[in-house]
Amino acid sequence: MNTATNQTRKSRVDYSSLVSYLQMQKTRKANELLEEVIPKLVDYLKVTMGADENTAKECVQQAFLNVYERILDDKIRDPKTILSYFMQTSRNELLNLQASRKRYSNYEIPEEGMVEPAEQIDRLVDEERAQALKVCLTKLDEDSRVFISYFLNNPGVSSKQASVEFDMTEGNVRTKKSRITKQLHNMYHDMMSE
């Protein structure tokens, strides 16, 4: 074997221990591995998916939160594939973000009197969702309502900007936003299934 192949094999790390470190809450050891994994995931999104630096970081952070919850719930079947699972989850986060941005950027205001029936139905559904969101927002505690309203009123605001606004770390901003969003999603789902 040539030296390049040997160096590649030596540099490969078994990240399966990350799963057990997180489950056992061995923070220092988990952080050591995460400091190595997270930049790899950001680079993966930038190189293979064409994401910019900030978008890649946001998607990786959200992917980590999603995977972390699955790890704590003991839903990772094969810890040896955790890096691949992180990569797939990060990729999916980016694709969902891109689809969401595309959906909102392609929204055009039609000329008066030129609205198709299908568009009228879409507008009614959007209005119904907006009303449901308002009801769900009133059910949140005031701190959560103010926090998530900031994001609703300032679409595209970065975690860094929000961290300054709320005097929190960027990580705490993303975590809090994720938790409140999940709470709103569950409230909305419960409301629609009634």
**How confident is the model at residue 6, as a pLDDT?**
44
**How confident is the model at residue 125, as a pLDDT?**
64
Q: Are residues 121 and 144 in the same domain?
A: yes
Work out the widest C-alpha separation in the chain, in whole angstroms.
72
Q: Are residues 48 and 94 in the same domain?
A: yes
* Integer-rounded Cα radius of gyration of the chain: 21
**How confident is the model at residue 4, as a pLDDT?**
44
Average pLDDT for 164-180: 89
Tell me, yes or no, whether 139 lies in a domain. yes
> If DSSP codes are grouped into helix, strand and coil, which group holds residue 14?
coil
**How confident is the model at residue 146, as a pLDDT?**
87
Q: Are residues 184 and 150 in the same domain?
A: yes
CATH number at residue 130: 1.10.10
Q: Are residues 121 and 98 in the same domain?
A: no
pLDDT exceeds 80 at position 41? yes
Q: Which of 49, 70, 103 is the last residue of a domain?
A: 103
Q: Are residues 96 and 131 in the same domain?
A: no
Tell me, yes or no, whether 111 lies in a domain. no
Q: Are residues 98 and 145 in the same domain?
A: no
Q: Are residues 19 and 82 in the same domain?
A: yes
Q: What is the pLDDT of residues 104-134, one digit of tens each?
A: 655 555 455 455 666 666 666 677 777 877 8
Token code pair at residue 4: 């390049």
Q: Are residues 95 and 123 in the same domain?
A: no
Tell me, yes or no, whether 5 lies in a domain. no
Task: Look up the domain containing 121 and give its range.
Answer: 117-193
Tell me, yes or no, whether 109 lies in a domain. no
Q: What is the pLDDT of residues 77-88, one digit of tens each?
A: 787 878 888 888
Q: Which residues contact 173 (CB under 8 A, 6 or more apart)?
A: 159, 162, 163, 166
Tell me, yes or no, whether 81 lies in a domain. yes
Angle at 28 between CA 25 and CA 33, to 5 degrees: 95
Q: Are residues 34 and 99 in the same domain?
A: yes
Q: State percent of the chain over pLDDT 70.
A: 80
Q: Are residues 161 and 183 in the same domain?
A: yes
Query: Residue 99 and residue 115: Cα distance in Å, rounded?
Result: 24
Of 6-15, 23-32, 131-140, 159-168, give the range with the top mean pLDDT.
159-168
Tell me, yes or no, whether 72 lies in a domain. yes
Q: Are residues 160 and 91 in the same domain?
A: no
Q: Which of 103, 126, 154 is the last residue of a domain?
A: 103
Tell me, yes or no, whether 82 lies in a domain. yes
- Give the DSSP per-residue string, 82-140: HHHHHHHHHHHHHHHHHHHHHHHHT---PPTT---HHHHHHHHHHHHHHHHHHHHHHHS
Specify the number of domains making up the chain.
2
Tell me, yes or no, whether 61 lies in a domain. yes
Q: Are residues 93 and 164 in the same domain?
A: no
User: Percent helix, strand and coil across the chain, each rounded to 5?
Assistant: 80, 0, 20
Q: What are phi and psi of 6, to 5 degrees?
A: -65, -40
pTM of the full predicted structure? 0.47
Query: Residue 119 and residue 98: Cα distance in Å, rounded?
Result: 22
Q: Which of 80, 103, 126 is the last residue of a domain?
A: 103
